[in-house]
Chain A
Amino acid sequence: MGDVNVVIDGEKVSGPEGNTILEAANEAGINIPTLCHRPDLTPDGNCRVCVVEVEGAPRLVASCHTPISEGMVIQTRSPKVLAARRTVVELLLAGHTGPCVTDECAKDCELHYLAAELEVGPPRFQVKKRRSYPVETLSPYVQRDMGRCILCRRCVRACAEIAKKNVFSMAYRGFRSKVVVDCDVPLDKEACRDCGICIDYCPTSALTKPKAN
């Protein structure tokens, strides 16, 4: 298991076999933005925010789940990469609702931060009908507002892999995709304990602690 040598943004970097491009870059102090990925969750590669250009590859690859291989030459900030990343964030924003959209000062939305960081301009994409669901307030531990969800599946993985509870699943398809509990019932306190892990992992305000009443 020798080290694998790659070049990232012109810098020689080496890392153990099996490491992802993202891990190798981070190791070298090169920052690649991510959204659906967290270092302690299994990579899912669903948001495409972390795309990079690999010389000779026919298309951009998601760095969070692409392993490094010997001799790879990688660009993390080429114009092509930045344009794609911006478009990805714009598309996510087009379907996203929440306080961060209307309130410039709203905190705690990673999508909002990403948009600012990538200097995403005014909206280019219109959605005909926003996804909207009633806010789920049954559970004393987690409040779910799925209209704000960007389908990153971090809660699904965090609940399964860290809390070992498997409360959330993905259902439906395409525009109707939704993170569901059982056969799409509102989250109550039967299945869910009060660990709050999913709230910590949610990048948006889709999952929050219910206000004490």
Chain B
Amino acid sequence: MERNELLNMIKEEQAKNGSVSEGAMADMAQILQLPIGDVYGVTTFYSFLSTKPMGRHVIRICKSVPCFLQDGAMVAAAIEKELGISPGETTSGGRFSFELTNCIGACDQAPAMLVDDEVYGDLTPEKIGEILNSFD
């Protein structure tokens, strides 16, 4: 297998286990004959890949300009209030992780957030409560 297989392997691992552990990185390095550091480098380059274990659902709030102008800070505050965690943290039961991310391509619906692969736009604090309640 070639080095250009690496990103696919990492994505598969993330899809399967929710994050990419050091053990998994070491295995991929072994298979592709790469330094572990190169696998770690690719994994940490992408904000949608994670080397830390994540919650069952990952909430990503856009911190880019269009959402910022549409009061994106309100979204982050609402989530912090609802879940009691700050960006970069996971709820104690492992239900949600909360991350800030760059533009998610939903500027027309700003302020917006992603929960797992789903986009939720035109957010208000009330809507956020409802959306979060619909996840197990």
Contacts and interface: CB of A to CB of B under 8 A. Distances in A.
A171 B41 contact: yes
Given A180-B40, A180-B41, A183-B25, A169 B51 contact: no
A172 interface: yes
A184 B40 contact: yes
B36 A172 contact: no
Contacts of A180: 37, 40-41
**Range of interface residues on chain A?**
10 to 19
Given A180-B41, A183-B40, A169 B22 contact: no
Interface string B50-70: 010000000000000000000
Given A183-B22, A183-B25, A172 B37 contact: no
A173 B35 contact: no
Nearest to A179: B37
Interface of A: 166-173, 180-184
Nearest to A169: B37
24 contacts: A166-B35, A166-B37, A166-B38, A167-B35, A168-B37, A169-B35, A169-B37, A169-B38, A169-B41, A171-B40, A171-B44, A171-B45, A172-B41, A172-B45, A173-B45, A180-B37, A180-B40, A182-B35, A182-B36, A182-B37, A183-B36, A183-B37, A183-B40, A183-B51
